[in-house]
Amino acid sequence: MMARGFTLVELLVTTVILLVLASLTLPMLGDSDQVKSDATARILIADAQYAQMIALARPDVRVALQIDEDGKGWSIVDADSPGTPLTDALDEQHTPRSLVTRLGEGRASIAQGAHVSPEGGVLVFTPLGGLEAPINGVASHAGERTTPVDIDCDTGFAMVAH
């Protein structure tokens, strides 16, 4: 009678399945503060790019991205009346939405507990998409993690700095 055991093929298939499962679960065990900080920076960059596009489309409005005083959100505003966020509806068929982002809410829900610096900072875009004045030290923070954001003054191009 022959001894029963696992064949080489069965062992390889089992190993491949375990590796696939491990590759799917290991990222979930990563540093949540780093994920929050990176996500916050990327949402901020997306909104800065959106503000830049609005500035290009509406040259008669001084468009700005204003970081809240508590650093837990920002708004896209008219720089000449910064207390009122701009809206994104350009016609009567759509309900206007205020261009406000609060960390931990809506599309920024992943950023619960994060904040942005400099608190109260304002990025004012020119009609050509650049910045009126440079702003240094833009970064997102979560716990001990910080993700710096570079914004080019001439082009308004924003990216995560590493």
Residue 103 domain flag: yes
In a domain, 5, yes or no: no
In the prediction, which pLDDT does 82 show? 86
> pLDDT, tens digit, for every residue of 30-71?
568 988 999 999 999 999 999 999 999 999 999 999 999 999
Alpha-carbon span 10 to 7, nearest angstrom: 5
Question: 3 lies in a domain?
Answer: no
Q: How many domains does the chain have?
A: 1
What average pLDDT does range 125-137 have in this prediction? 91
Here the CATH number for the domain that contains residue 78 is 3.55.40.10
Question: Which residue bears the tokens 């997306």?
Answer: 46
Q: What pLDDT does residue 31 have?
A: 67
Q: Is residue 19 part of a domain?
A: no
In a domain, 25, yes or no: no
Residue 64 lies in domain: 30-87+96-160
Mean pLDDT of 108-128: 93
For the ranges 26-35, 49-58, 121-130, 143-152, the lowest mean pLDDT is seen at 26-35
Which residues, in sequence order, are CB contacts of 78 under 8 Å at separation 6+?
Answer: 61, 62, 63, 64, 84, 86
Confirm whether 17 is domain-assigned: no
pLDDT of residue 30: 59
Task: Kindly state whether residue 7 falls inside one of the protein's structural domains.
Answer: no
CA distance 73 to 82: 14
pTM of the model: 0.78
CA-based R_g, the chain, Å: 23
